Chain A
Amino acid sequence: MSLLETFQLALKNILGSKMRTFLTMLGIIIGVCAVIVIVGLGNGMQGYIESQFEDMGTDSLTVMIVGRGSSRSVSEEQMYEMVEENSDLLKQISPTVAMVGILKIGSDSITTTTMTGVSEDYFSMKGYEVVQGRGLQYTDMENRQRVCVIGQYLNMAYFGGNAVGQPLKIGGNTFTIVGVMDQQSSELEEGGTDDCVYLPYTTASRLNYTGTISSYTITVQDKDRVTEAKTLVESELYAIFEDDDAYTVTSMAEMLDTMNEMVNVIIYVLAAIAAISLVVGGIGIMNIMLVSVTERTREIGIRKALGARESVIMRQFVIEAATTSSLGGILGILLGYGLSSVATVVIARIMPDTPITVSPSLLAVVVAFGVSTGIGIVFGYIPAKKAANLNPIDALHYD
């Protein structure tokens, strides 16, 4: 009796009692479906986090100079030189000076706005576009010009879309708006990414009374070599400071990895909980198979009398259990995909700002199918063994 024939026989028996088969499979269906949706949700969350980090630039390093523990310092020129000398790894650099002070537009005081002093390269590094007026230029840096580029939020909320040429005040100093950035996020909101002011870093550092610049953003040539670039910058800085407490280098990519790991842990825990349902489903299958063996005692007796070996009877019942559970697995996968699409739509409705696409991974599908089949084999084993061990004489006279 070939494996194919055994399988056909199993399928025939399973389809012979559809309601019972469906109820038996239900545990597996729910378990597989839950695992797939949860993993899909995790993928969606990771995708969302990644896209958020992408906006911030996963190809950039942030260097903070603390200077603690060493009297030495590092100048802008040294930093620029470092980038130039290592142009195979590092692409561009811009100092980033957080501006302190109150922003005033007309008579309104605004506290939510992020104000940063940057170089003329910063916009191209970040991929920001200037849609009105001009960006910051080298001469602005040289002459410590009191000019700035503002985000679309300020432009729309305070200048009615015509901010170029208008003045604003930061800490009592008047700046002229020379450009307006393209909208970054899907919605303009207070405190969002479009609520920002960029000014020349030289001006910012002068007005802040900070002698040296303590923060830089460096972009790398190749996203995949961020870690290598980070190590390089760290060793260059160590050469200057000879103390690794004096600076910190962080990469968005590494932070992203950390976030992803955290999400993964959460997903694994949730998936493990969902997988409990698979075990419960497996026990359900075992239960029904035991009943089935009892019901079919006579059939087993006849088959044995006619020459079925124990291994053949065993195989028949194991394959039947495995077929039941893998059918359940397939239904669970289909249901999981269906629910994933529904979940995507629902999430988009409820949280329009965080569009998470619930996308089940192929790996999850393969694993779910494999596990459900495996569960059938494992939990089918005991009933199959019971069937195989039946004494044909007793089984033939069983009513």
Chain B
Amino acid sequence: MGPLIEFRHVCKTYQMGDTLIRAANDISMKIERGEFVAIVGQSGSGKSTCMNIIGCLDVPTSGTYLLDGQDVGQMNKNQLAAIRNKMLGFIFQQYNLLPKLTLLENVEVPLMYAGVPKAERRERAKVALELVGLGDKLRHKPMQLSGGQQQRVSIARALAGEPAVILADEPTGALDSRTGREVLAMLQELHAAGNTVVLITHDNSIAVQAQRIIRLEDGRVIYDGDASAPEAVVTPNQAGKGMGVK
């Protein structure tokens, strides 16, 4: 069995007026099943582009992205929608819950698009919400919850579909440090339970919670390795200036 996520010379370019922006410039990497990887970089480093491609929200301009051995670049929009639904669990910075739906209904959304029958859907959503400790608030609306609770709902939503990859985009960005730590602890639990977790962040202190760090700068991978290694959290130009961890 090959790696779960594999980038082979992935490039992504955007035309902005007259200038061509290389958001991803020849990125190659592999992420195996069960890994907890943080993709780190400053804004403009290409991490959002990476996240969009991993999340099958976008396809590479050139190069190949294999998700569980399938070439995503060759897929049409419907196939992309299906693979997002089946393989990926998104956790967003802004939670992105649907405000008019109850927590239960929110968690049901990906299952609904997967065609899971209503009764089973309800049951699985309930189990997922209980898992994140919100089993007593099934009928609440997102706005009645704190930020941390809302993020837990979005984790439940990501889990409910039993995806191959949990993709968390700045999951603590909108939270205070204490609830942020809770969310991170939850991600670590998920990893411990055997899930593959990919965390996208600009924050080194968050990134070190992962097992492995992939650091991006200007659309290139500048570090890929153990999260505990000192180089993982220091960008080369910062190292020269003697700046430490943020």
Binding site for B on A (CB under 8 A): 1, 5, 12-13, 16, 298-299, 301-312, 392-393, 396
Contact = CB atoms under 8 A, between A and B. Distances in A.
Contact of A304 (B81, B97, B98, B118): B81
Contacts of A303: 98, 109, 113
Contacts of B118: 5
Nearest to B49: A393
A312 B113 CA distance: 9
A352 to B, nearest CB: 56
B77 interface: yes
25 contacts: A1-B113, A13-B100, A16-B100, A302-B96, A302-B97, A303-B98, A303-B109, A305-B90, A306-B85, A306-B90, A306-B109, A307-B81, A307-B82, A307-B84, A307-B86, A307-B110, A307-B113, A309-B81, A309-B82, A310-B77, A310-B78, A310-B81, A311-B78, A312-B113, A392-B57
A5 B82 CA distance: 19
A306 B78 contact: no
A306 B100 contact: no
Given A1-B113, A309-B82, A396-B96, 20 more contacts: A1-B112, A5-B112, A16-B100, A301-B96, A302-B96, A302-B97, A303-B113, A305-B57, A305-B90, A306-B84, A306-B109, A307-B82, A307-B85, A309-B77, A309-B81, A309-B113, A310-B81, A393-B52, A393-B57, A396-B92
Nearest to A308: B113
Contacts of A302: 96-98, 109
Interface string B111-142: 01111001000000000000000000000000
Interface string B59-103: 000000000000000000110011011100010100011101000
Nearest to B113: A307
Nearest to A397: B94
A306 B113 contact: yes
A307 B81 CA distance: 4
Range of interface residues on chain B? 20 to 34
A223 to B, nearest CB: 59
A12 B115 contact: no
A298 B157 CA distance: 17
A345 B221 CA distance: 83
B55 interface: yes
A392 B118 CA distance: 26
Q: Which of B55, B58, B81, B82: most chain A Cβ within 10 A?
A: B81
A12 B58 CA distance: 32
A308 B161 CA distance: 13
B101 to A, nearest CB: 9
A interface, over-half SS: helix
B191 to A, nearest CB: 22
Contacts of B58: 393
A305 B84 contact: yes
B88 to A, nearest CB: 8
A304 to B, nearest CB: 7
A338 B75 CA distance: 56
Nearest to A307: B85
A299 B100 CA distance: 10
Nearest to A13: B100
Contacts of A304: 81
A11 B109 CA distance: 17
A71 to B, nearest CB: 88
Q: Which of A299, A305, A306, A312: most chain B Cβ within 10 A?
A: A306
Which 3 A/B pairs are nearest by Cβ-Cβ distance?
Answer: A307-B85, A307-B113, A306-B110
Nearest to A4: B118
Given A303-B109, A393-B52, A393-B58, A309 B78 contact: yes
B110 to A, nearest CB: 4
Contacts of A392: 57
Contacts of B55: 305
B15 to A, nearest CB: 15
Contacts of A393: 52, 57-58
Contacts of A305: 55, 57, 84, 90, 96
Contact of B81 (A5, A301, A308, A396): A308
Contacts of A298: 96
A12 to B, nearest CB: 7
A298 B85 CA distance: 17
A305 B78 CA distance: 12
Nearest to A304: B81
Interface in B228-244: none
Q: Which of A12, A13, A308, A311: most chain B Cβ within 10 A?
A: A308
A299 B98 contact: yes
Nearest to B48: A393
Contacts of A311: 78
A397 to B, nearest CB: 9
B115 A1 contact: yes
A16 B161 CA distance: 28
A393 B82 CA distance: 16
A307 B114 CA distance: 8
A15 to B, nearest CB: 11
A145 to B, nearest CB: 90
A136 to B, nearest CB: 82
Nearest to B92: A396
A12 B100 contact: yes
Nearest to B117: A2
A310 to B, nearest CB: 6
A9 to B, nearest CB: 9
Nearest to A302: B96
Contacts of B92: 396
B49 to A, nearest CB: 10
B113 to A, nearest CB: 4
